[in-house]
Structure 1
Amino acid sequence: MSSIKKVQITFDCEEPLLVARFWAEALGYVIPEPPEGFASWEEFDGARPADFRGPAWGACADPTGEGPRLYFQRVPEGKVVKNRVHLDVRAGTGLVGEERLAALEAEAVRLIALGAVRGQLLLADGVNESCQNMQDLEGNEFCLD
């Protein structure tokens, strides 16, 4: 029997630190401390050679160590198609009907204030419960479920 492995979920993006900070706030995650000797990631970046300035990556992690680490890497091309993998943010777990819709709406409003964009609301259909499609700061799709 194989052992359970921890996973990291990686996002390609244009502004890694900006997107990492969005997801840290959205999920209650934390941004790791900068390398020793630096007070901030911006200070660390400023100390790098000019050709390498601008954050090439960012990350955030579950402070309890339970959830996966999210890693954001800068890539030159923009997003052009739908995600093949997306996150489901479990905002309405165990709730049904109007109570679930209210929980999804409250979370959508909170995330919109952080820069997310609301997508289509999919209403319960007798098989699946309601969920709210969303996009992060760079258009990566995710669901409030």
Structure 2
Amino acid sequence: MASIKQFQVTFDCAEPERVARFWCEVLGYVITPPKGFASWADFDRAQPPEDRGTWSACTDPSGVGPRLFFQRVPEGKVVKNRVHLDVRAGAGLAGEERLAALEAECARLVVLGAVRVGLLPADDENQVCIVMQDIEGNEFCLD
């Protein structure tokens, strides 16, 4: 049996384009329109009015990271995510140097609209990380 080599991460959200642009800023990704369209605006013009603005997507320009897909859903977020992204802002760092890198990235993301939820201190198995929420309340970690 062949193993799967690619996957995308899908976000349910209220404003797909806004959330996609936020994650582009966080990860250095770029908005990518559907095949056959020059932009999401062109795609939307081809849709019935009730479906316009329903989707957006972004990709890693290096081709390494997964595609992120955003779809509008009618309900808001109610409970904690069962899956979240770990944004690797402190990879390879330890101690005060790691914490300083995480705090700097946290400050940058707060300016973009993210919310700092809390600091998870280091323990015997894990290094320090910062729990955050994106602009629609989806949790993610800076680690």
- TM (normalized to structure 1)? 0.89
Match of 1:76 among 70, 74, 77: 74
Q: Residue 41 of structure 1: CA displacement?
A: 3.2
Give the share of equivalent positions with the same residue, in percent.
Answer: 69
In structure 2, distance between residues paired with 1:135 and 1:58: 19
Amino acid at match of 2:108: R
| 1:141 maps onto 2:139 in alignment | yes
Alignment RMSD: 1.8
In structure 1, distance between residues paired with 2:47 and 2:18: 19
Specify every segment of 5 or more residues in structure 1 that has no aligned partner in the other structure, as ranges: none
In structure 2, distance between residues paired with 1:85 and 1:34: 25
Q: How does 1:121-132 map to 2 (within 5 A)?
A: 121-132=119-130
In structure 2, distance between residues paired with 1:27 and 1:3: 26
Checking the alignment, whether the CA contact within 8 Å between 1:121 and 1:133 is kept in structure 2 is yes
Amino acid at match of 1:108: C
Could you give the per-residue CA deviations for residues 6-48 of structure 1, whole angstroms, max 9, x where no partner exists? 000001000000000000110001101477675x534553564
In structure 2, distance between residues paired with 1:116 and 1:98: 23
Amino acid at match of 2:94: V
In structure 2, distance between residues paired with 1:69 and 1:37: 17
Aligned to 2:51: 52
Checking the alignment, whether the CA contact within 8 Å between 1:35 and 1:44 is kept in structure 2 is no
Aligned to 1:16: 16
Q: Secondary structure at the match of 2:30?
A: coil
In structure 2, distance between residues paired with 1:2 and 1:37: 32
Aligned to 2:114: 116
Decide whether aligned partners of structure 1 residues 64 and 132 sit closer, same or farther in structure 2, where only a CA change above 3 A counts: same
Amino acid at match of 1:17: E
Specify every segment of 5 or more residues in structure 2 that has no aligned partner in the other structure, as ranges: none
Amino acid at match of 1:111: L
In structure 2, distance between residues paired with 1:49 and 1:2: 39
In structure 2, distance between residues paired with 1:29 and 1:98: 28
